[in-house]
A and B are shown apart, each in its own frame.
Chain A
Amino acid sequence: MNTILLQTLTNPNVNLAAVLPEMVVALTGIIVMLYDVFVPKQRNVTTAISLIGLAIAGYLTLSMWGEAPPTSWN
């Protein structure tokens, strides 16, 4: 049974570098959501976290123009 399962499972080409900007944006969203749960009724902190996350995602996107990952998630 295990052998059959192992034979049918194929290892996808998981190249996380190719989706890094998207992951940073999603992670920032999760951090903002969690922070808001513990410290509600604030404005500036989540604004700052969101802008920092987007700036990192922007930087990563711009840097991908120089070195493109060949393939991903096939």
Chain B
Amino acid sequence: MIATDPLRLSFSIVLIFVAAMTILVSTVWAERETIPVGEYHALLLFATFGSMFMASGNDFVIIFLGLETLSIATYVMAGLRKSDLKSNESAMKYFILGSFASAFLLYGMALIYGATGSTNITEIAVRIATPNFPGLLLIGGAMLVIGFGFKVATVPFHVWTPDVYEGAPSPVTGFMAAGPKAAAFASFIRVFVIGFPFVAGATAAGYLHESWITALAVMAMLTMTVGNISAIVQNNVKRMLAYSSISHAGYAMVGFIGAGVAKTNEGRDVAIAAVAFYLLTYAVTNLGAFAIVSLVGQKNDRRTEFEDYNGIGFKSPVIAFSLSLFMLSLLGMPLTAGFIGKVLVFRPALEAGSVLLTTLVVVAVVNTAISAYYYLRLIVVMFFRERTTDWLEPKMPVGVAAAILITVIGVFYFGVFADSWIEKFTKPMPVAAAQSK
């Protein structure tokens, strides 16, 4: 029921890092607002526990248990600012839509169980060639796509994201954009890439494999395009980062699909490691950006509009230069973590040599160019716009300073010395039977 493989371990590292950074970023929020800090830390740890179980679960039961532990803790965290209507709305929307998605996921799992007679992913991969009811297999697969699609916020299941991200407290938003997304990707990859492989000569399994590859490729194209175009028109930094997070889910899916079409197990593992590394670089960059958004935001995240950042470039150089670096990394500038992450996830899709996947990579590259508009816009606003209102430099607690320092170093470190981590993420386990049944 529990797998011990590079997929689990690499995603667990990402999830632990995200939790630790969120705790550091939250120090500014905890100091400013009277939130129950102990409860918040406990919820964050339970959410991390759930997400780690999602990454390690090799069985539908474990994945669902992990998902629910993660989701329930996150619903509460989104609404922790009890007197703020936006925070309440965020928690309620996330809860209702999240429950729908969980229902789709559970129903999909039940149908797959009906078709194969097992909830174990390794067993499913074996039995998929001769399913009891091929129709159930296909409908179950479609429902799993919907359920996971909601959790990773892919188009057209992304509509909850901007409102929830805007209303939740900024450190929680940073956590939601990096942690639960990574956990959902880990399970999504395990179920589809490992559980629904291509089986030569098997009609239903072959059709299922072809269908999910095509469906996810189309969803990835839509996710990148809708995410980036919607981000352009935003005037609120948190909403812009929410749409940016949607587009980044699309980029990560390029590597995911690359893993699905890999011809060999080694190629598949390299593509999975690329997605894990991409989500690590995204977590580093995004949490750094949200640390600054939390800092600038003041009580109840009042200052989150683009105009609130007008002309702060030379008034608060540490904040402005760090945020500029994070924007450049999200854009994918060379020498930053974001660049290496994107190169790694695009490569397996290009190497597949199919027209669909090559088109997918072209769309991803065009979308990267589109995203330059809104990432650079924030830099322009900070350095080239005049400020008409007073600017009070926010007090930076030690925890936030540490988080910003770690993420700034991380952006350069993963941008220049990524090799050792990529090697670690692709390293096979020493025991042949590491993948539990």
**Which of A33, A51, A57, A73 contacts B23, CB < 8 Å?**
A51
Q: Does B4 lie within 8 Å of A73, measured CB to CB?
A: no
Interchain nearest-CB distance for A55 vs B (Å): 7
Within 8 A of B (CB), among A1-44: 18-19, 21-22, 25-26, 28-30, 32-33, 35-37, 40, 42-43
Place the interface of chain A in its size category.
35 or more
How far is A58 from B396 in the complex, measured between Cα atoms in Å? 27
Quick check: B1 and A61 within 8 Å, CB to CB?
no
A50-B2 in contact given A26-B45, A68-B431, A73-B436 (Cβ < 8 Å): no
A-B contact count (CB 8 A): 127
CB distance from B13 to the nearest CB of A (A): 6
Contact present for A68 and B30 (CB under 8 Å): no
B41 interface neighbour in A40, A47, A73, A74, Cβ under 8 Å:
A47
B20 close to A65 (CB less than 8 A): no
Provide the main secondary structure of the chain B interface: helix
User: Is B427 close to A, CB under 8 A?
Assistant: yes
CA distance A26 to B27 in the complex (A): 21
A28 to B48, CA, bound (A): 11
Binds A, one of B31-39, B150-158, B350-358: B31-39
Assess whether B52 is in contact with A25, with CB atoms less than 8 Å apart. Answer: yes
Cβ–Cβ contact B46 & A19, under 8 A: no
A69 touches B42 (CB 8 A): no
Q: Which of A35, A50, A57, A73 has the most CB of B within 10 A?
A: A50
Judge whether A72 and B4 touch: CB under 8 Å: yes
Contacts of A42 in B (CB 8 A): 37-38
B324 CB within 8 Å of chain A: no
Given A19-B2, A25-B52, A57-B16, A50 and B430 contact (CB-CB distance below 8 Å) = no
Separation of A15 and B367 alpha carbons in the complex (Å): 46
In the complex formed, the residue of B with least CB distance to A13 is B436
B433 near A61 (CB under 8 angstroms)? no
Picked from A18, A43, A67, the residue with its CB within 8 Å of the CB of B31 is A43
Chain B proximity mask over A55-67: 1 for CB below 8 Å, otherwise 0: 1011001101111
Inter-chain contacts of B46 with A (CB < 8 A): 26, 29
In contact, A68 and B4 (Cβ under 8 angstroms): yes
Known A-B contacts A51-B23, A71-B433, A73-B2; the reply to A32 vs B12 at CB < 8 A is no
CB contacts (< 8 Å) of A55 on chain B: these are 20
Q: Which residues of A contact B424 (CB under 8 A)?
A: 65
**Shortest distance between the CB of B114 and any CB in chain A (Å):** 22
Given A22-B53, A32-B38, A36-B42, are A47 and B27 also a contact pair (CB < 8 Å)?
yes
Q: Is the CB of A64 within 8 A of B41?
A: no
Is there an interface contact between A19 and B31, defined as CB atoms closer than 8 Å?
A: no
**Closest CB-CB distance, B388 to chain A, in whole Å?**
36
- B95 on the A face (CB < 8 A): no
Give the most central of B13, B20, B30, B38: most A CB within 10 Å: B38
Other than the known A33-B42, A65-B9, what 20 A-B pairs have Cβ atoms closer than 8 Å?
A19-B56, A25-B16, A25-B45, A32-B38, A32-B45, A36-B36, A36-B41, A40-B36, A43-B37, A46-B38, A46-B41, A47-B23, A47-B37, A50-B41, A65-B424, A68-B4, A69-B431, A70-B434, A73-B2, A74-B1
The 3 closest A-B pairs by CB, nearest first: A36-B38, A29-B45, A33-B42
Seen from chain A, the residues whose Cβ lies within 8 Å of a Cβ on chain B are 18-19, 21-22, 25-26, 28-30, 32-33, 35-37, 40, 42-43, 46-47, 49-51, 53-55, 57-58, 61-62, 64-74
